[in-house]
Amino acid sequence: MPVSPIILWTDALIYLFVIAVLLLIGHVRRHEHLLASWRRVGHSASGMSALTLLLFFLTTGLLDTVHFRPALDHTTEDGRPIYSVEVLSVLDILVTPIRIQVEKTYSAPLAAHLYAKETFELPDGTPVRDFARLQYGGAHLQDPAAERIPDIVSRGGTGILYGLLIWCSLAAGLTGWLSHRHRQSYRNTLIDIRRRTTEMPWYAVLLTLLTLLPLIGAVAMLAPHYHVLGTDKVGQDILYQSLKSIRVALVIGTLTSFIMLPFALLLGIMAGYFRGWVDDVIQYLYTTLNSIPSVLLIAAAVMMMQVYIETHPDIFETVASRADLRLLFLCIILGITSWTGLCRLLRGETMKLRELEYIQAAHAFGVSHWRIITRHILPNVMHIVLIATVMDFSGLVLAEAVLSYVGVGVDPSMISFGTMINAARLEMAREPMVWWALLAAFGFMFTLVLSANLFADAVQNALDPRNRTHKQRTRTFSRTKTTAAASGDKTSQPS
């Protein structure tokens, strides 16, 4: 099927962000002192488990970033294909069954009937008021009351077995790679992983995959035949909405950090290095910005952008491009209002570094300010930048949910955790209560934010010099205390 590739604004920025991360990884691998710091991140069991979950979310988000317009069945007079106005992604193609299987209205998770009663006619024309059968969910069942539970158990169990089989293959491949790398037997490597004596906590990664892969396998086997997380008011699958919301959360968390870093780095280092009137102006700037309620500032900017979009509809070819521009503008506004905290940290750290001996010696030798900043100041504050960026990610994801909940977030046509929560707000008040939409959005967002926070803690513990100094002092004190105790035991023995 011919397709027309589409690169949205956020797609292009995500591609640039991925390229920047790959270049950073290559730079770290070429410098041993940087590589040693990041190896300490890999020594954290919670950090590696969180990174494993984050890789699942990142993979889902990247699959949802490759967009295209499929060709229609019709062609132009000269034989050229006509492309649909609907913009799809690779993720949409992979989850096509749950994307196109739209029911009439609400249905509970793994149900075969609608959630509320309605009046319909039987094949003989008799009207009856009952729970109608779903068009897709459980449609293969002849008698849902008797066949649904055994069918769910059978398909779910098969998916779990497939997941366990994939896990065993990955565990065997990892063990073989480690045994070849460390030049030891396969059995000894397996014992080291089980006893948790490897350099990196591979047992934590394997335990996380042992939980994740069977779950994915069960969902993959059930999703084509049931709505695993139910459907919403218009009959759309909640699992599909949850997967589509991941990209929006990742875009908000990564691109906003990407946008705020130039402001924080430039202004924070300038304020701490030059001091004087430069410091006063920058302090006045971020103090004034902090005095304005961020929600009101974001709401005003989004409303202005919305007016521009509505008055210039001809510049957007598709609904997706319009929604993407609003998402990009939301990232820009969040970045402009979120750089002040990191700027303060960099200002204080730069003021401390400026008074050190090697900086003063560089001044005495006539080294330019630009060279001092790029060669001495910037490398010594990058640990703060990395820690703050990773820790701000979860806050930005939650900020999108709050802003979309109050109506000033992403475009209503774009699926996100905030729009899902906003839609579920009224569903919780109806009778019978529709609870699964809110639970699904909360569960996915909670897992993403928790993984980001745990990984941020691992990064902070590994890269923060104060934490490393404290740990070194603690180990030195422990060794000294142990040595003193051993010496005391020797001297107390009778001669």
pLDDT of residue 477: 43
Domains and CATH numbers, the chain: 1-101+237-475 (1.10.3720.10)
pLDDT of residue 215: 95
- Give 164's contacts (C-beta < 8 A, 6+ positions apart): 210, 213, 214, 217
Q: Please answer whether residues 108 and 232 qualify as being in contact, where contact means their C-beta atoms are separated by less than 8 angstroms.
A: no
Q: Is the dihedral of CA 211, 213, 217, 219 positive or negative?
A: positive
Which residues on neighbouring strands pair with residue 133, listed in sequence order?
113
pLDDT of residue 216: 94
Q: Please answer whether residues 404 and 418 qualify as being in contact, where contact means their C-beta atoms are separated by less than 8 angstroms.
A: yes
Can you count the helices (H) and strands (E) in the chain?
A: 19, 6
Which residues on neighbouring strands pair with residue 119, listed in sequence order?
129
Compute the distance between CA of residue 192 and CA of residue 175 in angstroms, rounded to an integer: 10
Compute the distance between CA of residue 172 and CA of residue 115 in angstroms, rounded to an integer: 45
Exposure on the CB side of residue 80, measured as CA atoms within 13 A: 4
SS3 at position 81: strand
Q: Is the dihedral of CA 245, 247, 252, 253 positive or negative?
A: positive
Q: What angle do CA 131, 133, 136 make, to 5 degrees?
A: 145
Residue by residue, pLDDT tens for the chain (495 residues) are 577 888 888 899 899 888 988 898 888 888 787 788 788 888 888 889 999 999 999 999 999 999 988 888 777 777 777 778 888 899 999 999 899 888 888 888 998 888 877 777 777 777 777 788 888 888 888 888 888 999 999 999 999 999 999 999 999 999 988 888 888 888 888 888 888 888 888 999 999 999 999 999 999 999 999 999 999 888 899 999 999 999 999 998 888 888 888 888 989 999 888 888 888 998 888 888 888 887 788 888 888 888 888 888 778 778 888 888 888 888 888 888 888 888 888 998 888 888 888 888 888 888 888 888 888 888 888 878 887 887 788 888 888 888 887 777 888 888 888 888 888 877 777 777 888 888 998 899 899 988 988 888 888 787 766 555 445 444 444 455 455 545 555 444 544
Main-chain dihedrals φ then ψ at residue 68, nearest 5 degrees: -160, 165
- Give 166's contacts (C-beta < 8 A, 6+ positions apart): 213, 217
Would you state the structure tokens that stand for residue 247, as one six-digit string? 């990209």
Tell me, what amino acid is at 90?
V
